[in-house]
Structure 1
Amino acid sequence: MKKPVLVTGASGKLGAYVVRRLAGAGRPVVAWSGSQAGKVAGVALCPVDLSDSTRVKLAFAAADPLGVIHCAALSAVGDCHRDPSQARSINAEATALLGELADRIVYTSTDLVFDGEQAPYSESDAPAPLSEYGRSKVGGEQALAGHNSAAVVRVSLLYGPSLFGQTGFFDQQMEALRQKRELRLFSDEWRTPLALDEAADGLVRVLDDGYEGLLHMAGPERMSREDMGRRLAVFLGLEPALVESARQSDIKFPEPRPTDVSLDCSKARQILGWAPETYESGLARMVQDPSEK
């Protein structure tokens, strides 16, 4: 009997897409969630508190996985700022423990490990996080530095409809536009947005390829949040003027926010043959009938 792939954060936005990608290929999957019950793509969720090392060890032994795709994170920047200890526990310490247990692990990190001053960023650029979230994710990266079969994949801003649980920012933004409510989005914050399904495909490729070390995965286009919103409005057949311009620099946040954390993912294209499509292509694939995605 084939060993399963263990996916952490399976009830989250990215984790759910990874579970669907694996299950859709007929592969056995063990899907860990934080506390949520239910199913994702027909796979039952197994609630595991990553801050409970004893529970993690027992659940890992029961799963006996071929490898781990570690998507679980405390990813809300505000939550990490308010509770840095919890951020380190989930994003760094739990990652270190999974690295000790797993023969093969793929860890999802973030473009927010950078300060936004020298984009686009390649794998050779040194992290310089501005937020507690970014620092805790760097802690997770460092925890796997000595692992003999670990890949750290930094992903950019992800977009697409949620498959499970609470709606995310993309879902809320799409719903607001469909109701013709105005949105205010930053014109001075740039990312390289990546479709959730393409991110999931990339992570599975990394696991199967056996790649070790750092890798960036991002979309092919550098866009501001305002541009993303306006292009979404046009895609939905609505007026782009529904999206108004706002400036990040005019707002005082509890922590600094990087202005441009665009990622260079040429290495992933060269090594894996992984080539994400344009923003509009991703929207066409995922938004028209999200119930089937």
Structure 2
Amino acid sequence: MTVLVVGASGYLGRSVVDAFAARGVDSLGTYYSNPIEGATRRYDFFADDPADLPLDAVESVVFAAHVERTDHDFETFAAAAERFVAAVRSAGPRLVYTSSAGVFDGSGSRYDEATPATPKSKYGRRLRRFERFVAAHDDSSVLRADYLFGRSRGSLDRRLARTRRLVREGRRVPYYADMWKSPCHVREAGRALAVLAGSDVQGVVHAPTPRTSAWAFHRAGMAALGERPRLVVPEPMPDDPTLHRDTSLSSSRFERVCGFRPRSVVRALRG
């Protein structure tokens, strides 16, 4: 089996490539600006023709590129996403798309796969549109994961890296104690994507990691990294309708499909 990882040079993509390697699966990878091991083919999602990618040479495609937060307008994004999925459908390989809990508006809690998407941000609306294109492909799956964290080939995620830097400076770092997430370790997300790429599972799968507040996440992260968690302090969310109060995820499928249970922040960082 050979797979194509789009966005293989990115934070998540590196862990996806490594997960395939651990399973003995050959992968080809794309990069946008920085070629690295496992990502040697340049690809611009918005400018390049996806039909020029080696889609005929692979059995599965994993889309791990972070293209939903660019400055392109919605119509340009949607056209690029539709073009990409159409190229994969024409060539025939399986497609696995990486989405997130951003498709939900945050007014609920512990969203499962049956919960309709209710995006309220530009990011969420783009995720939902891409998901809809993917769903039109007969052999496809979507992994939704929230708040990716941890080290990918030694590089710590930007959230925890920022908190660690401020803690080391001796500064108090406030985070919302009433904003709820389901933080997923990047290597566990990569592992799940590798499993889905080699399966015949269809539709959406959530990464159901333990529900925790943004404050508790950073506090636990500092403890696991050997820093001073007491400098991470709680504060309440402001009355801001653009914020997502709760994007925690649950799943009736993940453990059965992927064969493992995602770990807590401390266990994942120390493991």
Contact residue 9 and residue 39 of structure 2 kept, 8 A? no
The runs of 5 or more residues in structure 2 that have no matched partner are none
Deviation at 1:237, TM superposition (A): 3.6
Corresponding position of 2:41: 46
Quote the Cα distance in structure 2 between the aligned partners of 1:244 and 1:93: 46
- Which of the residues 214, 222, 231 maps onto 1:233? 222
Quote the Cα distance in structure 2 between the aligned partners of 1:6 and 1:109: 17
Deviation at 1:166, TM superposition (A): 9.5
Corresponding position of 1:181: 171
The answer to whether residue 14 in structure 2 is matched with residue 16 in structure 1 is yes
- Which of the residues 53, 78, 86 maps onto 1:59? 53
Q: Which amino acid aligns with 2:212?
A: M
Quote the Cα distance in structure 2 between the aligned partners of 1:166 and 1:277: 17
- Which of the residues 153, 158, 179 maps onto 1:163? 153
Quote the Cα distance in structure 2 between the aligned partners of 1:16 and 1:141: 22
Q: Which amino acid aligns with 2:45?
A: L
More moved, 83-92 vs 274-283 = 83-92
Quote the Cα distance in structure 1 between the aligned partners of 2:117 and 2:212: 21
More moved, 25-34 vs 266-275 = 266-275
Report the TM-score, using the length of structure 1 for normalisation: 0.83
After superposition, what is the alpha-carbon deviation per residue over 1:213-237, rounded to whole angstroms, capped at 9, x for unaligned?
1111131x11111111111222234
Quote the Cα distance in structure 1 between the aligned partners of 2:156 and 2:227: 25
Matches within 5 A, 1:70-109: 70-76=63-69, 79=70, 83-85=73-75, 87-89=77-79, 93-109=83-99
Secondary structure, aligned partner of 2:35: coil
Quote the Cα distance in structure 2 between the aligned partners of 1:238 and 1:135: 37
Contact residue 7 and residue 31 of structure 2 kept, 8 A? yes
Q: Comparing both structures, which one devotes a greater share of its residues to helix?
A: 1
Question: Which 4+ runs in 1 deviate beyond 4 A?
Answer: 89-93, 164-167
The answer to whether residue 237 in structure 2 is matched with residue 248 in structure 1 is yes
Cα-Cα RMSD: 2.5
What is the percent sequence identity of the aligned residues? Answer: 26
Q: How many matched pairs?
A: 271
Secondary structure, aligned partner of 1:52: coil
Contact residue 62 and residue 95 of structure 2 kept, 8 A? yes
Q: Which amino acid aligns with 1:222?
A: R
Corresponding position of 1:34: 32
More moved, 18-27 vs 85-94 = 85-94
Quote the Cα distance in structure 2 between the aligned partners of 1:89 and 1:12: 23
Contact residue 150 and residue 156 of structure 2 kept, 8 A? no
Deviation at 1:16, TM superposition (A): 0.7
